[in-house]
Structure formats: structure tokens, C-alpha cells
Amino acid sequence: MALPKYTEPHYRVWHYTYIFICSCVFVFLIAPLFVIFPLSFNAEEFLVFSEGMKKLDPDAFSLRWYKDMIYGTKNPWGLAAKNSFIIAFFATIGSVILGTVAALGLSSRHMPYKGIIMATLISPMIVPLIISGVAIFFFIAKVGLAATHAGIVIAHIILGTPFVVITVTATLSGFDHSVTRAAASLGSNPVNTFMKITLPLILPGVISGALFAFVTSFDEVVVVLFLAGLDNTTIPIQMWTGLREQLSPTILAVATCLIILSTLILVSAELLRRRSERLRGINR
């Protein structure tokens, strides 16, 4: 947004200095991605910029690593992608259900010890993943779900629920409870009120939380290292194995796809956040 014409010079200088600093930080964080993208189209088998790539020779670029990602020998990436999507899908559903119910309870003025409960719910975001991974492993192994999809889904629900709790709680912070009281006074039962009034109004926050839970599950590697077996390999685990045992540009192709997927999800979450603000009358 452009500055007003009456803005004083020192404020104008600080404004453009601030934009410059933010731009430098953004470039610093994004710069490594500009290396991954072109290397994923390299026709050579080495993770270097060939002379042909430097000269922008069309023959130096290829889709061979994207084809290998899909049609490679025994297609380990296909199995890993299938497992990642299945686990992330069910983990997202579980996180949304638990997180939404928890957020609704925390939004009630009759809920005691809100601070303690909220801190407990978001603790998986604060505790180091290596500690969470050890604790979850011993719990999952005790109930006999180690090296199973169900065990990994439960672990990812634990990690993804805090994101849903935070986003839905933020959406409910500006929620007008008079509409639910009006519905109750007109004879609507709690389930009908939630489905037809509360849920449509908080839906952007629920979907945003679901997107974050999906990304968390899809990109998680530490906990899966403790729980996954040979049939439960996910994309992050496959990338980790590839980096240690067989360094291949296919990893860069997969990384490029994951970056694009994460960017689309973050953009969608931002659009939903703005829509939620418009629905609540915060930003018109």
C-alpha cells in the first residue's frame, strides 16, 4: 500500500528500509529453492549444474527424474506417495474432529482451567519431536500397533490436532454466540445448531487447520522413523533413505513437487483466513 503524500520524510525512510530488510530475509529463506528447481530438470545423473545447463542448452534439461519418480524400478516412490496420502488423509480427519471439539469446549465461558487445557493440547508443538517420537513409540508398541498404518495415523493425529485447535480457537474468538442462543430459543437442538449455524461460520478455520494438519502429517519424518516398517515407508522416509544410500536427482524432483504442494496449501490457508475475517466482519 502506497504511503500518503503527507507522510513525514523519516517515516517514509523507515517504511522503505523495513521493506528492504523484509525482502532480504525473504530472499535468504527462499534462495535454496532456486537451486532445487533447475537441478530437478538436469539430464545428468549428478547434482551439479552442467555446462549445458549454464548455457541454457535444451538438451541439458530433461523430465527423466520426474518419470523415474512415477515409473522407476519397482517404483518405491509410488508406494511411498500412496502411504503418505493415505496416512495424511486419515490423520487429517482425526485431527479435525478432535481439534474442533476441543476448540468448541475451550470457547465456552463455562470451561474451567482453560489455560492448562490449552497448554496441554498444544504441547506436541512445543516438545521436541525426538522426545515425542520416543514417547509415542513406546505407547504404540505397547498396544501392538507398531509398523502399521493405524499406529502412524494415531501418531500424526497427536501431532496435527494442536494446529486445528489453534486455528479453530482463533476463528471462535470473534464468534457471536447470540446467534446460537437465538437458534436455541426458536427450538433448535444443539446438533442442528452446530451443523447449520456454528459450522458454516467456523468452516474457514476448520479447513485451515485441516490443511496444516495434512502438511504436518505429509512432511513428518522423525516420528515415522520410530514407527514405520518396510510397508509403511512415506515420502520423507524415502527421501531420507535416498540421501543416505543412493543420492539421485529423483529426490530433487520429489522435493520440487512437495514445495509446490506446500505452497498451494499455504496460499489456500491464507485465502481461507481472509474469508474468515470477512465473515466475522473484521476485514471488509
Q: How far apart are CA 283 and CA 274, in angstroms?
A: 8
For 204-259, how does the pLDDT look when each residue is reduced to its tens digit (9 = 90+)?
888 888 988 998 898 888 888 888 887 888 888 888 887 777 777 888 888 888 88
Q: Would you state the torsion angle of the CA atoms of residues 260, 261, 265, 267, taken in this order, to the nearest 10 degrees?
A: 10
For the chain, the domains span: 76-279
Pick the CATH number of 76-279 from 1.10.1060.10, 3.90.198.10, 1.10.3720.10, 1.10.10.10: 1.10.3720.10
* Mean pLDDT along residues 7-29: 86
Instruction: Enumerate residues 6+ apart whose C-beta is below 8 A from 275.
Output: 204
Residue 125 in contact with residue 240, Cβ under 8 Å?
no
At 108, phi and psi to the nearest 5?
A: -75, 135
Q: Which of 166, 195, 151, 164 is nearest to 95 (CA)?
A: 164
Q: How far apart are CA 96 and CA 84, in angstroms?
A: 18
Q: What is the pLDDT of residue 276?
A: 66
Which pTM value belongs to this model? 0.79
